[in-house]
Amino acid sequence: MSTTSQNAETSESPTPATPTASGEGAQPDSNDAMTAARPPVGTGTSPLFGLILALGLIALGVVGVQEALVRSGAVDATSWTSWVLDRLDGVRSADWMLVAFAAAALVGLLLLLVVFRRRPRESLALRASTGVFLRTRDLARVAEGLIEGTDGVTDVHASASRSRLQVTLTTVEPKERNSALGDTVHERLAPCLEPLARAPKVSVDIRNEDLT
């Protein structure tokens, strides 16, 4: 009598692989999204005061070098600092000194306000989510290029700010056609103003040449 034993076969269902950040099917990380650029700003007056400060430090360095050369005997001359101290020796306080010190303190405070104030913005934002900007001087150049070649216009000049686009043009057309010419200028400028998030106000100044 033979007994046949059969082993039960067990099957395990495979565990689905979890997608990794670098594998297929990974979810995009919100931190990897491109952030909008900040609006560009002008330099302001900081470089001017930085230049003045640098020149002052250079002058102090020259005085220090002269003092070192005199003390070491390399130069046979009078020390500048000693000369100034000799002139100040015996000077007594006076009313004008108080006024001078107060004026110097006031000037110093004004310089701090000027240096640390908000730098001016010189660009216009375009309709984009990634932060695209157009400088005001570039907008003026684009405006001049669009208006040049208009019938009857002999010269054109444009200047732009964040709130205003000033166009000055010279024409040989009679004054009766100034209104129509102004409408033509606005139509030509529309393509460069439409992409701006906040378009500046357009002002057109027409000058008529006298051909007689």
pLDDT tens column, 182-210: 999 999 999 888 888 888 999 999 998 87
pLDDT mean over 141-154: 89
Domain closes at, from 98, 116, 134: 116
**Do 53 and 70 fall into the same domain?**
yes
**Do 87 and 133 fall into the same domain?**
no
Residue 16: the pLDDT is 47
Q: Which domain holds residue 100?
A: 46-116
Of residues 122 and 143, the one with the higher pLDDT is 143
Residue 3: the pLDDT is 44
**Do 105 and 138 fall into the same domain?**
no
Domain closes at, from 61, 96, 116: 116
Which helix (H) or strand (E) covers residue 77, if one does?
none
**By the 8 A CB rule, do 123 and 40 touch?**
yes
**By the 8 A CB rule, do 134 and 119 touch?**
no
Contacts for 130 with CB less than 8 Å, ≥ 6 apart: 34, 36, 37
Domain closes at, from 116, 150, 174: 116
Round to whole Å and give the CA distance between 181 and 193. 18
Cα distances from 174 to residues 96, 100, 151, 156, 182, in angstroms, run 66, 63, 12, 17, 13
pTM tops 0.75, yes or no:
no
What percent of the chain lies above the pLDDT cut of 90? 22
pLDDT mean over 90-103: 81
Residue 35 is assigned to a structural domain of this protein: no
Residue 58: the pLDDT is 94
Query: How are strands ordered across the β-sheet holding 153-160?
Result: 153-160, 164-171, 201-208
**Do 128 and 74 fall into the same domain?**
no
pLDDT of 39 > 90? The answer is no
Identify the band that residue 61 occupies on the pLDDT scale cut at 50, 70 and 90: very high
Identify the band that residue 116 occupies on the pLDDT scale cut at 50, 70 and 90: confident
Residue 100 is assigned to a structural domain of this protein: yes
